[in-house]
Each structure stands twice: as structure tokens, then as C-alpha cells.
Amino acid sequence: MEKRYNHSAQEPRIFEFWERRKLFEARISPDKKPFTIILPPPNANADLHVGHAMYVYEDIMIRFNKLRGREVLWLPGFDHAGFETQFVFEKHLKKQGKSRLDFDRETLYQMIWDFVEENKPKMRAQLKRLGFALDWSKERFTIAPEVVRVVYDTFKRLFDAGLLYRKERLVNYCWVDGTSFSDLEVDYVERQTKLWYLKYPVKGEPGAYLTIATTRPETMLGDTAVAVNPKDKRYAGFIGKTLILPVVNREIPVIADEMVDPEFGTGAVKITPAHDENDWQVAQRKNLPLIQVIGFDGRLIQEAGRFAGLKINVAREAILEVLKESGALEKEQDYTHRVGVCYKCGTIIEPLPLEQWFIAIKPLALKAIKRIKDDEITFYPKKFKRQAIQILERYHDWNISRQTVWGIRIPAFRKNGGKWIVELDPEKQKQLLADGFEQDPDTFDTWFSSGQWPFATLLSLDGSTNPSEGGELFKYFYPTSVMETGHDILRAWVARMIMLGDFATGKVPFEQVYLHGMVRDKNGQKMSKSKGNVVNPVEYMDKYGADALRAALIFGTKDGGDTNISEEKTLGMRNFANKIWNIGRFIRMNADWVEEGPKPDAPIFTDKDAKKALKTIEKLEKRAAVVRKQYLIFMSSGKFSKGLELLYKFLWHEFADSYLETLKDAMRSRSDTGKTALKTLQEVYLETLVMLSPFIPFVTEAVWQEFHGQNSSILEAVSLRDLS
RNA sequence: GGUCGCGUAGCUCAGCUGGUAGAGCGUUGCAUUCACAUUGCAAAUGUCGGGGGUUCAAGUCCCUCCGCGACCACCA
């Protein structure tokens, strides 16, 4: 054995050995209980970042449960990540001075497909580099045809069940990216702006007017009413009267609606149903007409008359100018408020009326809530249970239509604006197109497909789309055991998986949700390119090894909390790996000496010494039993950080610093006591290796093989069943 | 505004159902041909955010104040 543990030499060799032996390939083993984790599929559009290294939690669970004798499946895959990937790709295009608009649909789609396929091998290699026990023979891709079939099937069944509807509603639209979003893709930021007070004259009463306050004067062109609170005495006399909308001189009514806050502004609100969610709701209640003045390109449209073609902010200035000249602008004041912006590009999101596919969430959410309340799905840390319920209780209907090219095309057809039909059979689809039908040009929100990931993966492997029949793999491995992911996507992903999983399969998609926090830098700061504190996992692995990086992410963190990573911490864990290696090396050396027989210069070892040594051995055995027990408790309750810290302290600061030192002389004496000492030390050591292997699989396997030969593996040779 | 969380050694953080504080890194001193300097031994440093309460006993439970953070809702 080398003097130092050489991770650069050992890690590739060991991983290759694991793959050759197919140690990560899951099989259907009727006599074993399955343990399944579906890897949250990384977006196939960039290199791995440290966040992905957090998959180590899953690897720990997989390896631990394999040692316990479960049939484990850790299924890898990639997310096509619809809009996200298109956005990344567009940035590449921009560097070449091009844009998505330079290509037709098919060409752009193919280009992005190729881009993603180029990315995948790199990502696979990086995941392997981390030592992950993923079963690559079952890799899936969210937009691959066999997966799409499952997704389509769910769509169709939602449609048939009446849980899917197409309707014109206000959607969150980003005119720069050219697509609508669900509520979850809208960020809110504080913006300094002004509150403008506009005077709307009363028809037939010269000199009389109503003042409204607005932050969006340009939308006044689309006003179809002014609302006041029915309880507001100031305006009681105005209700039912008609106002003359300045600039365009259109007549609009004054209406009463509870939604108006008398305290805010003047207590009178302009109602623009086409461009404000609240106003839209009022319009629905009061049957007001809809006048759209802003288009999907971020410019005013024909209805805006002489302002048509102007960009929103330009139009605002122009309209304010006109209002000022006509004396309709009473005053303006500084105002700070929150505006919704596109989570990707920061453009202000425009609420625009658009026909889209929506999922009626309520029935799905109610079922999901029941599953959670009944503990059919448990959460770790526990606090997320309540959070999940709250999220589901507030879920709005989900807009799943996106106007992007990169995504799964929605399989809905209609003819001349007629009724929509959903058709999945490719042959019949062709027939429909030939008959003059047109397919919805939109694609699915990427979460609609990833929301089905736990069953779509397994079903597609079986070549099936029907959860009620399923196939061998689906039947055996579903529901999955654990969904482990970041708590930041509890809402966007986990909640949706529960709802769609329940709908499609009638079962929970996973029995446990295990959530981890964010990876932060050593000062607890969020990582960002602008701060320059981004940790490159590959760089750390090059320097300190995959084990060190893995352990650094787990060590000293609170489960479910954020984890801090630093070069120093990683180095410390590298040192731990080396310590493990050297303990093994030392035991091996002693074993050889014992084999060789008595050595002339062996130290004098008295009966008294032997007695003392035997006592130490006894103590060690007792201590090891306690550690083993604690370890199993920590590991089975998800407290992995505690488990690792326990073994770290035990192996280094008890086993090596104390027991090994005390028993050194006994071993050197080559007496029977020495042999007993060696045997016990070796047993406890190897057992500790096994317990450590889920955290740091490489160094433990490397040492294991020094003891048992290059052809053996911890994963095959032992079972923690024997330990409990 | 609502919900949740945090404030413990120089830094980053652990401390479960209450019994006079721990780890990693860092710091200081000593050791070293004998497994490992990617080492060992030893040492220093904390009124556990402020105040009040419950208790024989409180980082640990309750109240309050101060300072942070996350998520959600919403303001025309």
C-alpha cells in the first residue's frame, strides 16, 4: 500500500470496477424488498454545479439500503427543461449574433436537441465521477418518445376526466421570451415608480369628475369601467353614472365592487380587464367588456389608435403628455411597489388575455392533501409537511401551455376554431392534419412532464403507458421509496408530482420526501457568478477526491438546512480519507508481521501487559457495539450528518488515537494476545469501513480490496442486516 | 401583511424529549527515523443576541424586545 491514499489513481479504477461488475443494476428480486429513488433529473443544458453534488444524499440512502439487503434502484435521467433550455440555447445564439426568430420551428428544435445530446455525456461523466450508484442501464429522458407517450396519456386522461380545460384568461406573459408562464415563474421585485392621479369627467355634468390613481397610465386606453367601494360614502352618488375616458373619449360606467380599498389612492380604481388580474376578476363578476391594448410583442396594438406600435414605456410617456395637456393629469407622486418580472430575463411580466390549457387543480390538490395528512407520504424534515399542505391549499389552476419550440408539443387539434380534440395515435393525427385540422402550436410546461417523472420513467422502461396495467419494473419498484430534492422546489415540483402521481396511478409517487437545503460558500453566502464564490465540484474532486467533496457536503450540517462548502473543509475530509487508508495500511502491516512469526527484536511483553491489552480489547468491542447501534439509529432516521460525524470521531479519535496506540505493543510482541488484538482491531475497522462506505465509497472500497482482493466489493460482501 | 426559521469559541456551524457547552477549520506550544506532517500530544478562547418568566435546574420550555434570513400573499 502506498504511504498516502491516492484518490486520482483509485477513484477511476474503482468506479470502472463497479460498472464492470454491474453492481448498480437493479433487478426484480421477488424475495427482496425494493428501495427506489428516481434521480431528480438535471437540466441537460449545462455542466454540473455543486448543487448537483447534493445528490450524495440519495447515494447515501441507496448504498445504505443496499447494505441492508434491499433491492435498490437509483434511476438516472435528464430533463429537457423546456423553456429553461431554450433560454440557455438562445444565449448561445446571441453570442453568434443570432436569435430564435432566425430559424423555423423544426430547425430550432433540432438544433436544441443536438445541443442537449452534446451535453449529456459530460454530465453523465460528472455524475460518475462523484461515485453515484446510478443504474445507467435505465437512463431516461423527459422528451424521449417513449416517455412522451406516457405524458400524453396522462394529458388525455386529464382531458377525459374534465380536469383539463382550455380557456382565455389573463396569463403571465414575457414578451421578450415570447411565452406565458405559470404563477410560479413570476418573481416580484421592488420598483420605484409614480402614482399618477387622473381625472375622468362625468358625462353630462360639466366640471364634475372622478379622480383615479394608477401606476399604469398607458393601460387607461383599455379601461372599461371605474370602480368604487359600495360602502364608500364619498362616491355613493357616482355609482351608475357614466364617465368620459380622457384621450379616447369613450364612455365607461362607474361600478361598485368590494375589491376596492377606500383607503388607497383616491378610493376610485380604473378597471382594465385585459391587463390586470384583479380587474379581470371584476370584469368577470360585472360582465364588463375586454379591450386589449397591449400586444404580445410588448407594443401597443391597433386598439390603441394613434399610440399603436409604441413600446409600453414609450407609450406611457406619450399618453401622460396628452393627459397633461388636456388637464386630465391631476398630480403625480413617488411610489414604490412590487412588480412581477420574468424569473429568467427580468422583463416586467404583462398580464395578457390568452387561450391556454389549464389544469383544474382543486380536485387534485385535495386528494394530495389527504395523502399527506394521512401520512401516506412522510416528510423529512418534518416541518415541510405543513408547508406542503399549505402550498397545495393555495394552488391556482395551472397553465401548462408554453409558446416555446423546445418542449413536448401539445397533442390537441381543432379545425377552423372549432372544438378541441386530443388525439394520441400518430396515424390518426396524420389523418386529422390531412382533414384540415391544426395542432396547437404550444408545448407543455416542462414541469408537466417532470411532474410525472416517478411513474413515467418506470412505465416507459416497461414499454407501457398505462399505470393500471404497468409492467414488471413499474409493479415492482413503484411507488418509489424516497424523493430527495431541494426544498426550493417543493412547490414547483414535489407538490405537482404528488398530484399527478395520484391522478395517474392512484398511488402516491413516493413514500417519503427528503429535502435538503442550498449549498452556500464558507461564509454562508449564496453562490453566484457575480460574487465569484462559485465552487466548481470537478475542481474540488481533482484536488481532494470525490470522497472529500461528498463528506464535506454532509459533515457538520443540519439535515434539511443549508450546507456550507469550503476548500478548508474539503481538505479536512481529504485528510480523513487518508487517515482511513493509513489505519488500514497499519493493520495490514501488522498482519504480515504476525504471519512471519516471531521477530528477534520484539519488545518484552509481560503477563501484566497482556492483561491490560485484553481489557482494552474488551473495551473496544463494547464501544464498537454502541457505535454500530447509534449509527443504525441515525441512518434509519435520515440523520446522515450525525452518522458520519459519529464514525469520524470514533475511527479517528478513538480507534486510531487510543485503541490502536494502546495495542501497538501487544501486536509487536506477536504473542497470542497480540493476535487477538489484531483480529479484533481488524474486525472493528472493516465493519467501520462498511458503515462509512455510503458516505465515502471510494476510499473504503480501496482499503476493502487491500484486505479482500481487487475483485471484491463492500457492496457484495457484506450486509448490514448482520449488524443490527 | 402571513408562515417558517436563525442569532452558541476568531470563522462556519452541531447541540434530540431541560441537568452548569461541542465539532471542523484557524490560533499557540511541544513531539517526530518506528502506519499517517494529508501526523500525534497538549493548550487557549464562549455572561449560548438583550430583558423577563416557569423550574431544584434552561442555549434547551414560555413571554417580550433587538438584529438577520427564507418562502408566500398583496397594494390600483
Quote the percentage of chain A above a pLDDT of 90. 72
Looking at this predicted complex, what is its ipTM? Answer: 0.91
> Using one digit for the tens of pLDDT, what is the confidence trace for A403-443?
999 999 999 999 998 999 999 999 999 999 999 999 999 99
CB distance A644 to A691 below 8 Å: no
pLDDT bracket for residue A719 (50, 70, 90): low
The sign of the torsion formed by the CA atoms of A403, A407, A412, A413 equals positive
Q: Cβ contacts of residue A366 below 8 Å, gap of 6+? A: none
Higher pLDDT among residues A336 and A3, named by residue: A3
Quote the percentage of chain A above a pLDDT of 70. 98
Which of A85-89, A186-190, A272-276 is predicted with the least confidence, judged by mean pLDDT? A186-190
Cα distance between residue A303 and residue A507, in whole Å: 50
pLDDT bracket for residue A504 (50, 70, 90): very high
CB of A653 within 7 Å of some strand B atom: yes
When pLDDT is averaged across residues A234-249 and rounded to a whole number, the result is 92
Residue A311 DSSP label = B
The nucleotide lying nearest A648 (C-alpha to C1') is B23
Q: Would you tell me how many other CB atoms lie within 10 Å of the CB of residue A107?
A: 11
Interatomic CA–C1' length for residue A8 and nucleotide B44, angstroms? 38
When pLDDT is averaged across residues A103-107 and rounded to a whole number, the result is 96
Identify the three-state secondary structure at position A253: strand
pLDDT at A508 over 80: yes
Which of A250-264, A429-443, A686-700 is predicted with the least confidence, judged by mean pLDDT? A250-264
pLDDT bracket for residue A724 (50, 70, 90): very low
Interatomic CA–C1' length for residue A383 and nucleotide B21, angstroms? 27
The nucleotide lying nearest A196 (C-alpha to C1') is B76
Instruction: Provide the pLDDT for residue A557.
Output: 83
Q: What are A210's strand-pairing partners?
A: A200
Residue nearest to nucleotide B6 (CA to C1'): A561
pLDDT at A227 over 80: yes
Interatomic CA–C1' length for residue A533 and nucleotide B32, angstroms? 38
Length of chain A (residues) = 724
Q: Which three cell numbers stand for residue A581?
A: 487508508
Which of A168-177, A502-511, A594-603, A641-650 is predicted with the least confidence, judged by mean pLDDT? A594-603
Q: Cβ contacts of residue A121 below 8 Å, gap of 6+? A: none
The nucleotide lying nearest A571 (C-alpha to C1') is B38
Interatomic CA–C1' length for residue A634 and nucleotide B61, angstroms? 25
User: Is residue A198 within a helix (H) or strand (E), and if so which, with residue range?
Assistant: strand A186-201
pLDDT bracket for residue A519 (50, 70, 90): confident
When pLDDT is averaged across residues A162-183 and rounded to a whole number, the result is 92
Cα distance between residue A56 and residue A67, in whole Å: 16
The two most distant CA atoms of chain A are separated, in Å, by 122
The overall average pLDDT reported for chain A is 91
Interatomic CA–C1' length for residue A478 and nucleotide B69, angstroms? 38
Rounded to 5°, angle at Cα A328 from A325 and A329: 85
> Using one digit for the tens of pLDDT, what is the confidence trace for A131-150?
999 999 999 999 999 999 99
Interatomic CA–C1' length for residue A54 and nucleotide B22, angstroms? 26
Cα distance between residue A287 and residue A273, in whole Å: 10
Return positions of chain B under 7 A from a protein CB: 3-5, 11-15, 22-26, 35-41, 71-76
Interatomic CA–C1' length for residue A518 and nucleotide B4, angstroms? 16
Residue nearest to nucleotide B23 (CA to C1'): A556
When pLDDT is averaged across residues A248-254 and rounded to a whole number, the result is 94
Give one word for A234, left, alpha or beta, with left for phi > 0 and alpha for psi -120 to 50: alpha
When pLDDT is averaged across residues A619-643 and rounded to a whole number, the result is 89
Residue A102 DSSP label = G
Of the segments A339-343, A473-477, A616-620, A713-717, which one has the largest average pLDDT value? A473-477
Cα A264 to Cα A109, A195, A204, A336, A504, distances in angstroms: 48, 11, 28, 14, 46
Residues 107-136 of A with CB within 7 A of strand B? none
Q: Would you tell me how many other CB atoms lie within 10 Å of the CB of residue A40?
A: 21
Instruction: Provide the pLDDT for residue A668.
Output: 80
The nucleotide lying nearest A269 (C-alpha to C1') is B76
Residues 178-197 of A with CB within 7 A of strand B? 183-184, 188, 195
Q: Cβ contacts of residue A367 below 8 Å, gap of 6+? A: A499, A502, A503
Rounded to 5°, angle at Cα A497 from A492 and A499: 105
Residues 584-623 of A with CB within 7 A of strand B? 585-586, 589
Instruction: Provide the pLDDT for residue A601.
Output: 60
Interatomic CA–C1' length for residue A562 and nucleotide B5, angstroms? 12
User: Is residue A359 within a helix (H) or strand (E), and if so which, with residue range?
Assistant: strand A350-359
Q: Which three cell numbers stand for residue A152?
A: 400524453
Residue A5 DSSP label = -
CB distance A216 to A275 below 8 Å: yes
CB of A316 within 7 Å of some strand B atom: no
Instruction: Provide the pLDDT for residue A722.
Output: 53
Residue A32 DSSP label = S
Instruction: Provide the pLDDT for residue A544.
Output: 94
Interatomic CA–C1' length for residue A492 and nucleotide B63, angstroms? 37
What structural domains and CATH numbers belong to chain A? 180-342 (3.90.740.10), 560-723 (1.10.730.10)
Strand pairing class (A510-516; A480-486): parallel
pLDDT bracket for residue A191 (50, 70, 90): confident
When pLDDT is averaged across residues A500-524 and rounded to a whole number, the result is 90
pLDDT at A609 over 70: yes
Cα distance between residue A537 and residue A546, in whole Å: 9
CB of A281 within 7 Å of some strand B atom: no
Residues 362-391 of A with CB within 7 A of strand B? 383, 386-387, 390
The nucleotide lying nearest A577 (C-alpha to C1') is B38
When pLDDT is averaged across residues A43-48 and rounded to a whole number, the result is 90
Query: In which residue are the cell numbers 431516461 written?
Result: A140
Residues 145-184 of A with CB within 7 A of strand B? 183-184
CB of A577 within 7 Å of some strand B atom: yes
Identify the three-state secondary structure at position A207: coil
CB distance A141 to A85 below 8 Å: no
Interatomic CA–C1' length for residue A9 and nucleotide B36, angstroms? 19
When pLDDT is averaged across residues A162-169 and rounded to a whole number, the result is 93
CB distance A508 to A370 below 8 Å: no
